[in-house]
């Protein structure tokens, strides 16, 4: 059993803290957001993540998980302090480190005993050294005994608990091997590969992994666009490619492109880092450009199908950046809505989890109770997020409700032949119009 403090109670901090508590550790989860902390104390979670509410309740009841705003309380007996605060994009695409700095400084003000500070936030290469400097500077005059370890997080929203409890690997980086080995002990019961390396390499592993996954998606989307023009079906192309063991099937689903809280900001931050240090990230720039175009192309196809988008009513199914999360940060749906509204279209939309967040961000939008209400009187229906509940809709009813039966299946969820037989004009991604 170890004493752990986790700073930040967002997707990463809350999952990390709760899972460490569930593994038997004593955990303080700390946040500067007063409302978030008082809600968490009442069992109200700031995010939707399957299974998390129950796991939080269980560990709070067992006395292993405590929520606080007070750094002194959270760090009093802590041997480990995980920094899991946000690192959003700055004005130039760089990772904004103001929250990491604030956390590091607040830690320094409280430590009077040996502490391992662990960066779980996704931070630019070199940030571990920078955090050590921030702590040294802030604590000058104090006798400090600390080490900094990088421990990038690879969990996916929607399956975060499982990803934490059964990770493909844990990556730890430090100049202090002993500190890294002590952090490794925290993960031993997970029985997964643990890679211990230096600080900068660990930080780069996180960015390289996300950039690579984003590249696979942009790659298949580029192929999808060619398929549309050349009469091939990208889904079968992806299966045929994926059967090659060197390639594999993951992240080869053509669609409206990648979004979310990580890929967009991390690819941008990596490209920014590269330029700042004199290298040319040409591939990363292309990966981002393909992704942007994927949204524009969807709007272009709707415009072509409807003549003009001005005063047309478009229904959007799905708002979160992927299913089983309420996260709408950089969600393709939101960018498409923005582009459509810009051309004069009116939007009706529904999402099982992301309506509240969307209502806060977009004002001119009619949020509906279900997919059928969305379909009422629309000129086109766009599937933006492949939630399970959209898999088997009653398309006869939808056809009757729509003003013009145009469907853009942005996630290749539905069967084109069936929908065309019902009288819809169906567009998928990478499924040639005259072919499939």
Active site positions, annotated: 262
Sheet holding 3-7: strands in order across? 65-68, 26-30, 3-7, 80-83, 115-119, 146-150, 170-173, 194-197
Smallest gap from Cβ 90 to ligand NAD, in A, equals 13
Smallest gap from Cβ 152 to ligand NAD, in A, equals 7
Is 266 in a helix, a strand, or coil? helix
x-or-dash pattern for ligand NAD, window 110-149, by CB under 6 A?
-----------xx---------------------------
Among 4, 5, 6, 10, interactor with ligand NAD by CB under 6 A = 10
Smallest gap from Cβ 5 to ligand NAD, in A, equals 10
Residue 210 or 291: the one with the smaller Cβ distance to ligand NAD is 210
Among 157, 330, 351, 379, interactor with ligand NAD by CB under 6 A = 157
Residue 328 or 393: the one with the smaller Cβ distance to ligand NAD is 328
Nearest to 319 by CA among 283, 286, 365: 365
């979310």: which residue's tokens? Answer: 260
Q: Which stretch binds ligand NAD (CB under 6 A): 80-88, 185-193, 196-204, 349-357?
A: 80-88
Write out the two tokens for 107. Answer: 């830690």
Which residue's Cβ lies closest to ligand NAD? 10
Please name the residues in contact with 60: beta carbons below 8 A apart, sequence gap of 6 or more.
43, 66, 67
Q: Which stretch binds ligand NAD (CB under 6 A): 4-12, 51-59, 315-323, 363-371?
A: 4-12
HEC secondary structure over 90-106: CCCCCECCHHHHHHHHH
Q: What is the largest CA-CA distance in the chain?
A: 77
Rounded Cα distance between 319 and 354, Å, is 6
Smallest gap from Cβ 409 to ligand NAD, in A, equals 26
**Residue 316 touches ligand NAD, criterion: CB under 6 A:** no
CB atoms within 10 A of CB 90: 15
Nearest to 407 by CA among 386, 379, 433: 379
**Residue 203 touches ligand NAD, criterion: CB under 6 A:** no
Cα-based distances in Å from 153 to 130, 210, 245, 259, 382: 19, 11, 26, 18, 33
**Residue 155 touches ligand NAD, criterion: CB under 6 A:** yes
Among 261, 294, 353, 358, interactor with ligand NAD by CB under 6 A = 261
Smallest gap from Cβ 321 to ligand NAD, in A, equals 10
Among 31, 203, 379, 386, interactor with ligand NAD by CB under 6 A = 31
Site for ligand NAD in 84-103 (CB under 6 A): 84-87, 99, 102-103
Nearest to 222 by CA among 261, 259, 262, 252: 252
Number of residues lying near ligand NAD (CB under 6 A): 26
Write out the two tokens for 206. Answer: 């996180």
**Which residues would be at the binding site for ligand NAD (CB under 6 A)?**
7-13, 30-33, 36, 84-87, 99, 102-103, 121-122, 153, 155, 157, 261-262
């Amino acid at each position: 059993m170890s004493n752990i403090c986790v700073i930040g109670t967002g997707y990463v901090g809350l999952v990390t803290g709760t899972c460490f508590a569930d593994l038997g550790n004593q955990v303080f989860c700390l946040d500067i957001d007063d409302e978030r902390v008082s809600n968490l104390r009442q069992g109200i979670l700031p995010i939707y993540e399957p299974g998390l509410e129950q796991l939080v309740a269980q560990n709070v009841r067992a006395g292993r998980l405590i929520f606080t705003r007070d750094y002194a309380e959270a760090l009093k007996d802590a041997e480990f302090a995980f920094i899991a605060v946000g690192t959003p994009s700055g004005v130039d695409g760089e990772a904004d480190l103001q929250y990491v700095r604030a956390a590091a400084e607040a830690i320094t003000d409280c430590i009077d005993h040996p502490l391992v500070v662990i960066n779980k936030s996704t931070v630019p290469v070199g940030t571990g050294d920078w955090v050590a400097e921030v702590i040294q500077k802030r604590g000058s005059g104090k006798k400090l005994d600390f080490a900094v370890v990088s421990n990038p997080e690879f969990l996916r929203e929607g399956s975060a608990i499982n990803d934490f409890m059964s990770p493909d690997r844990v990556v730890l980086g430090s100049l202090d091997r002993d500190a890294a080995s002590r952090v490794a002990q925290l993960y031993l019961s997970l029985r997964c590969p643990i890679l211990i390396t230096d600080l900068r390499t660990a930080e780069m592993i996180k960015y390289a992994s996300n950039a690579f996954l984003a590249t696979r998606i942009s790659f298949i989307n580029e192929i999808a666009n060619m398929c549309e023009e050349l009469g091939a079906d990208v889904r079968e192309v992806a299966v045929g490619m994926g059967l090659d063991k060197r390639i594999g099937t993951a992240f080869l689903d053509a669609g409206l492109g990648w979004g979310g809280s990580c890929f967009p900001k991390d690819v941008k931050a990596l490209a920014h880092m590269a330029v700042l240090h004199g290298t040319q990230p040409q591939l990363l720039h292309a990966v981002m450009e393909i992704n942007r175009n994927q949204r524009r192309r969807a709007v272009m196809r709707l415009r072509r199908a409807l003549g003009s988008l001005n005063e047309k009513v478009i229904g959007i199914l799905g708002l979160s950046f992927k299913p089983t999360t309420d996260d709408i940060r950089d969600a393709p749906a939101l960018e498409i809505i923005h582009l459509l509204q810009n051309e004069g279209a009116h939007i009706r939309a529904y999402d099982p989890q992301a309506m509240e967040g969307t209502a806060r961000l977009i004002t001119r939008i009619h949020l509906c109770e279900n997919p059928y209400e969305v379909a009422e009187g629309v000129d086109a229906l766009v599937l933006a997020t492949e939630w399970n509940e959209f898999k088997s809709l009653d398309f006869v009813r939808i056809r009757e409700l729509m003003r013009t039966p145009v469907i853009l299946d942005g996630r290749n969820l539905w069967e084109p032949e069936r929908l065309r037989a019902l009288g819809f004009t169906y567009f998928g991604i990478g499924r040639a119009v005259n072919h499939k």
